[in-house]
Amino acid sequence: MAITGGQAIICALEAEGVELVFGYPGGAILPVFDSLRESSKIHYVLVRQEQAAAHAASGYARATGRVGVCMATSGPGATNLITGIATAYMDSIPLVAITGQVAVDLIGRDAFQEVDITGATEPFSKHNYLVKNVNDIPRVIKEAFHIASTGRPGPVLIDIPKDVALSSINFKYPDTVDLKGYKPNYEGHPLQIKKVVKAIKESKKPLICVGGGAILSDAAQEILELAEKVNVPVAMTLMGIGGFPGSHPLNLGLLGIYGTQAANTAVNEADLLLLLGARMGDRATGNLDKFAKKAIIAHIDIDPAEIGKNVEVDIPIVGDLKGIVKEINKLNADKKESNWAEELMAKDRLPAQYVEGKGLDPKEIIQELSKMSNNDMIVATDVGQHQMWTSQYYKVEKPGTFITSGGLGTMGYGLPAAIGAKMSDTEREVLLITGDGSFQMNLTELATAAQENLKMKIILFNNSSLGMVRELQQQSFESRYFSVHMTGNPDFSKIAEAYGLKSIRVTDKKDIKNALKEILESKDGILGEFFINLDVNVVPYREGI
């Protein structure tokens, strides 16, 4: 039986097991939305701006390990998705974004709400399609989900002209894909694996650096086994948080310009550095001229393009991290009896220093929160100082329970990502930690949470400032502060009330514990606003780490 292209898209999404779609409608995508309305298998979530649809799909993908799906119309709807697509691309998050497009015969003629979205997203999507023939829809969607979720995950965009979505098709969904030239390599080379084991045996000061690939490949248990078996300390990138238990004695904490003294000292002194699923961006390495100069570097990653891109590598291995570390564990590297790990444990793992002044100490709040939270709760953050304080002081014990924008550093990511994570399992505790700058970027998504009856828990650090930018101006521009003071901030308690959330305001140190307890135990949506000291920085300035 013939169906429309729009119906074919929904049938294909259902065949892929999609249960949630985040989106915002518009003229060119209406044939698809008209079919989505009839689906009994897909729950559709109307967000308040298209960027939030991509972030929510990203949060859902991170919480579940499944492909997140978002949808928007042509023109501004599509371009509003771009930040979310780029955010997912930088953090290797599996996403399928479906956009409407003007009719095929209008493409290239500056029609109303026309934009070349496939061209615009080409640099930061894993792949994209402009579908001009309705009969290609089943194959394209099958391929899109395969590409998004295999190898190094990433976003795939499908652009559907309106007339294609209205055309007829005899729908049959393919069982397999046949993509010539796209065959991710999962098996690590046996000789290279033996070289890594030999290097571990010969090293006296080995160090593991865990990246986001550890979580994406579900390799946390294998890495834990390796670290404990050989007695190797572990540092991590921002995206690697959760890939190794936060309270484990071998965990040195965050590496890089906002990292701990223990982790950065370990990199400088190590004679062997095992990079596990870490792309080693500039925030993790700091000054490359000084990075790990005494170490043999082995880099394991599913994406060959990442190996050697930022850091020179002695032993490259391309493949799935979980399987490769499992093979390394089988080859029985000896346990290190040196004091290397113990010496590092004694170093400071908490770089920030509290400055006396007006307002609360954010690190004290995060530390108390970490003590009081359960290990299954998902913590999402926005981007800014609060993100770094959380990465430094909150002990993340399990993979997939820390959601943040790492590579792109997207302010406004936190709330919609938390909504996406909460939508994946409404019974699960999800806590957003945000700042007054980031929170206002997608504040309207509180309406999405209210619409879906989500009991969101939010901790808002309010210093009436773009704190991280202010800190950079302090460190690099002789405290010539400009455009960082958020005068005109709203009364966030009234904002919370307007969207049906309880709210509490904390200005006194003695109230911190009780406020956190109330937030964590609340059965309703709640916003806790903590007024923090403006002069507290993430880290004292250290040139050329």
The CATH code of the domain that includes 238 is 3.40.50.1220
| 162 tagged catalytic | yes
| 492 tagged catalytic | no
Same domain, 151 and 254: no
Which position among 162, 322, 395, 422 bears the catalytic label? 162
pLDDT at 545: 43
Cα-Cα end-to-end distance for the chain? 65
CA atoms of 228 and 226, how far apart (whole Å): 6
Report which of 463, 170, 188, 147 is spatially closest to residue 321, judged by C-alpha positions.
Answer: 188
Please count the structural domains in the chain.
3
Range in 145-149, 420-424, 535-539 with the lowest mean pLDDT: 535-539
Q: Is 357 inside a domain boundary?
A: no
Residue 429 structure tokens: 């505790």
Q: Is 537 inside a domain boundary?
A: no
Same domain, 297 and 378: no
Mean pLDDT for the chain overall: 93
pLDDT at 352: 55
- Residue 542 in this model has a pLDDT that exceeds 60: no
Q: Is 175 inside a domain boundary?
A: no
Same domain, 435 and 490: yes
CA atoms of 382 and 437, how far apart (whole Å): 9
Same domain, 387 and 271: no
Mean pLDDT confidence for 397-415 = 96
Answer whether 79's CB lies under 8 Å from 90's CB. Answer: no
Q: Model confidence at 409, in pLDDT bands (50, 70, 90)?
A: very high
CATH number at residue 155: 3.40.50.970
Among 305, 323, 347, the domain-final residue is 347
In the chain, the percentage of residues whose pLDDT exceeds 70 is: 97
- Residue 277 in this model has a pLDDT that exceeds 80: yes
Answer whether 69's CB lies under 8 Å from 98's CB. Answer: yes
Q: Is 52 inside a domain boundary?
A: yes
Same domain, 164 and 218: no
Which position among 468, 471, 530, 531 bears the catalytic label? 468
pLDDT at 544: 45
Mean pLDDT confidence for 28-40 = 97
Please give the residue range of the domain that contains residue 150: 2-170
pLDDT at 350: 60
Same domain, 158 and 198: no
Report which of 415, 401, 437, 422 is spatially closest to residue 527, judged by C-alpha positions.
Answer: 415
- Residue 530 in this model has a pLDDT that exceeds 50: yes
pLDDT at 344: 78
Q: Is 444 inside a domain boundary?
A: yes
Side-by-side strand order, sheet with 430-435: 402-403, 378-381, 430-435, 457-462, 526-531, 502-506
Q: Is 484 inside a domain boundary?
A: yes
| 50 tagged catalytic | yes
Among 347, 382, 412, the domain-final residue is 347
Mean pLDDT confidence for 135-148 = 98
pLDDT, tens digit, 9 for 90 and up, residues 291-324: 888 999 999 999 999 998 889 999 999 999 999 9
Instruction: Count CB-CB contacts under 10 A for residue 348.
Output: 10
Same domain, 300 and 424: no
pLDDT at 348: 64
Same domain, 334 and 232: yes
Range in 84-98, 156-170, 335-349, 374-388 with the lowest mean pLDDT: 335-349
pLDDT, tens digit, 9 for 90 and up, residues 339-373: 787 777 776 656 556 667 789 999 999 999 999 99
In the chain, the percentage of residues whose pLDDT exceeds 90 is: 86
Q: Is 34 inside a domain boundary?
A: yes
Same domain, 451 and 523: yes
pLDDT, tens digit, 9 for 90 and up, residues 450-480: 999 999 999 999 999 999 999 999 989 999 9
Which position among 14, 113, 228, 269 bears the catalytic label? 113
Mean pLDDT confidence for 113-122 = 96
Same domain, 158 and 9: yes
Same domain, 482 and 391: yes
- Residue 102 in this model has a pLDDT that exceeds 70: yes
Among 139, 170, 201, the domain-final residue is 170
Q: Is 178 inside a domain boundary?
A: no
Same domain, 342 and 366: no
